[in-house]
Every structure is written in structure tokens, then in C-alpha cells.
A = this chain, B = another copy of it.
Amino acid sequence: MAIQRAASNDLDKRPNNTMKTIDKALFLLGFFSLDTPEYRLSDLARAANVDKATAMRILGSLSIGGLIEQHPETKKYRLGTAVLHLARLREASFPVVSVIQPILDALTLEVGESTHACLFAGSAMTTIAIAEPQRPTRVYINPAEALPLHATASGLAYLAHVPEAMQKNLIKRIDFKTHAKGTVRNKAELMDKLEETRLNGLAVSWRSFEDEVTGIAAPIFDWHGKVQATLSATCISNRLTDKALLGTKVAVLKASQKATQAMGGASPVQTHVATREQR
């Protein structure tokens, strides 16, 4: 016993303080996405690689809780109305969106480009707030599109500041799909980018997700200095002069700091060098 504990158990990750059944339920929940907003039982079971019967019982419980609901004719499952309630509750008691929105508005006004804020969800970034400038030409941000970690400034900004263990885990699962000319192609390139992002305090993705777009993103931290969200400006690349770029960077950085502060949080402190010294 003592030997096991000392020797081999470091490698086994044994978070004994969770419940596997609940983990599995949340795992299934994670399969609902924009591309696949509803599932038949068998399809979901197959996708998640769990037994049909198990999946059904899990979904049964989630249904009772209202987190998902089932169309009685097609038998398909989808997210339920309870999530609307929960989100409303969360936003009423600890506003995030409504705190960030005015910051985005101000930023957009200042830099004259579309801006948005993202949360990390599952394996990609999802937009939670958007502001658009009045200019006739501007980048349209699809509010529901999932933004891949490796191909967007938001993703890089997030990934660069995430705890090391989780970072490794996430990177392992990146598909490195090429979205545009400037998309990062492999892990080595990505690591360089992340290092650069950490040094600069913000990520610049030049034509990496869409060809005409340059994204400039900075992390938003919570009380603990953990990345909680990102804030970014998406600019039309060919009107971004060096001077404009610099100005935008500064503005984005300032806005992200304001957001960090507004979210109730401690300041990022020195993220530049020592991101690891947290314990």
C-alpha cells in the first residue's frame, strides 16, 4: 500500500473528490453544440461511446432537471429551458455579460472595429458579447460560431494563460485544421505563438481564421489570476496600418484590464514571466 502510494500514484490522476456519474452526465451535455443541437439516443450514445441504456438513464435524469428536454414525437434530445433560467440567475447575481458589454462598446468606439468577448467551452471559444462599429465596412462576428483555439486570437490568448497541465491536454486535442493563410500549422509553431502571446500580454492572429481579418485578443482573469475569458478586436487586415495596430493593441490591453478588474477580480499581476508561481 505504502509503496503504491509513493511510487506509482503520481502518474495516476485520481481526483477522488468527484463523482464519476455526474462527470459522465456533464460529458454528455457537452455534446450538444451548434452543429449538433439535438441527438437521438443512439446517436448520442455512439458519439460519446457509452451504452445506450446508460445514456438513456443519464438523459432521463437531466430531463427531469430540465437541463435537457425531449421532443416526444421525434424522441430527440436537446438542451432544456432550465439552462435559460440558470443563465439568467447567474447573470442577475454575478453579471459578466452586462459588465463586459459597456467595455466592448467603449473599445469599439475607440478603435472603430468589431470587438467581442469569449468564454472557453469544451474545446473552443464561444462568444458571449459583441460590439460593432458604425462604419460601413466591419468584420461580422457570428455570435454562435465556435472559435478554434489554434486559429483565433481569442483562442491563443486563452491558451497562453491557461495552467500548464490543462494547456497540454488541450493542445493534444487540437486538430490544426487550416482555416486561412496564416493559421498555425503544428504544435511547434503554436508553442512559439503562445510564448510570444505571453510576452506581449496579448495575441495577434494575422489572417489565421479568415483571410481578411486580423484578430487582437487579450485575456480576462478572475480573482485567482486564472483566465476566465478573452476580449478581442477583429480588424479588417488591410486597413490596419502599423500605427493603427499599435493603437488597437494598447486599447485592447487596457480594455481587458478594465474587464478583469470589473469582473470582481484580482489583477493579473506579472503574467509576462511568472505565470506558474501560483502555489
Contact = CB atoms under 8 A, between A and B. Distances in A.
A130 to B, nearest CB: 11
A5 interface: no
A79 interface: yes
User: By CB atoms of chain B within 10 A, which of A60, A85, A121 has the most?
Assistant: A85
Given A19-B60, A26-B65, A88-B126, A37 B223 contact: no
A96 interface: yes
A93 B67 CA distance: 15
Interface stretch (A27-35, A133-141, A196-204): A27-35
Nearest to A32: B89
A144 interface: yes
Contacts of A58: 19, 22
Given A21-B19, A81-B119, A121-B85, A26 B61 contact: yes
Given A21-B19, A67-B26, A143-B92, A72 B223 contact: yes
Contacts of A71: 223
A34 B119 contact: no
Interface residues of A, number: 59
Given A37-B94, A93-B37, A29 B65 contact: yes
A246 interface: no
Q: Main SS of chain A's interface residues?
A: mixed
Contact of A60 (B17, B84, B128): B17
A50 interface: no
A224 interface: yes
A87 B93 contact: no
A206 to B, nearest CB: 28
Given A17-B57, A83-B87, 19 more contacts: A18-B57, A18-B60, A19-B21, A19-B57, A26-B61, A26-B62, A26-B65, A32-B86, A33-B89, A37-B93, A66-B121, A80-B90, A81-B228, A81-B229, A82-B121, A83-B83, A85-B121, A88-B143, A89-B144
